[in-house]
Structure 1
Amino acid sequence: MIANTLSRLLRRAFPGHNPLATFGDRIEGAVLALGVVVALLAVPVAASFGSEIYTTHESRVAAEQKSRTQVDAVLVADAPSMDGAASSEALIETTEAVATWRTPDGVEREGVVRAPYGAEAGTTLRIWIELTGEPTEPPMTNQGAASNAIFSALMLWGLVAGSMALLFGLVRFVCMRVRLRWWQLEWELTAPDWTGR
């Protein structure tokens, strides 16, 4: 099955000396071959791009791991219940609630944190804080940096390969329209001889 597909692809890309191959077939074949070559050449480019993204994120990972600390926060009031949430907010599993926490140097802070809907006052949560003591997002991890790099590389390659596929589809569409027009003109010339009209 794969061999048949590859054989068909090669015949389409390189019609060769096929007497039935038209100029449009040769244009389609050239664009198909160009698209495959460009998509293959884009693989190392995308890999290099992903590697650059990972290198950039490595310094961010190191900085965030040093500057962010996880501490216990205690809710000072009940978190809002799911009943009062708007339909768009209900898609998120947490809501804002007021809590207190201590920084690593012992200073007590109070502020708004993310808590589960309906969490009661006194509930202890683990939150991430910056050096200033303000709540923040969890630090990026090496796994997160690698995931971002792989996703970026795949997106770049997909964009290039998709562009080549779109180009081939457009050329094929134009060539098919030209073929159909030529066939129509040829039929108009030969139809009287066949039909007697």
Structure 2
Amino acid sequence: MEFRDDALILDKPPNGLDELVLDVTGILDRVGIEYVVVSGYVAVLLGRARATEDIDVITDRFDESTADDLVDGLQDAGYWGSAMSLDRLYETLSDGLPVRIAEEGHRVPSVECKFAADEYDKASLHDTLAVRLGGEEFVIGSLELQIAYKLDMGAERDYEDALYLHELLEPTLNTSKLESYVERLGVEAEYDELKRT
């Protein structure tokens, strides 16, 4: 793993989850949808040994015509809506609900896609890091925001994700940016505990 040219370069063969991410984000790119991959998968991508069945993807809002193009691209590539029909993708996202996308006939692993809904979703869309893996590229949220947000989520697994990312990446993190997110999310006590661990 190395940082080069404003990108994170991962020298590992993509596993099944990685291939799902590369495939679905590639379709989002081709359709012209701005997206960011966030949450637990980011820790798993960087080597944390834990199970995850879904990959969280936040997108900028797009119109119904773009949604139709996305549905066509996903269906052509062998994906379906594992919780509801992809034909209802735009309606579901517009209602503020996520859409689960998986290989046809499977429920997991899946990509859980949703429109950016709050200031942190929007911050994730605009504060990103490119990841190069297996000769392809996709976009994840700022590592500093990932750590602070995981601390805010409060579950033990989320804290462990934040701790793992902090320990792994501490020399490369922008501390002032991380502390700004920590302050905005009101997780100073959790962050102090994480630094003491």
Give the TM-score of the pair, scaled to structure 2: 0.19
Name which one, 1 or 2, has greater alpha-carbon Rg. Answer: 1
The answer to which structure, 1 or 2, has the higher relative contact order (CA under 8 A, 6+ apart) is: 1
Give the TM-score of the pair, scaled to structure 1: 0.19
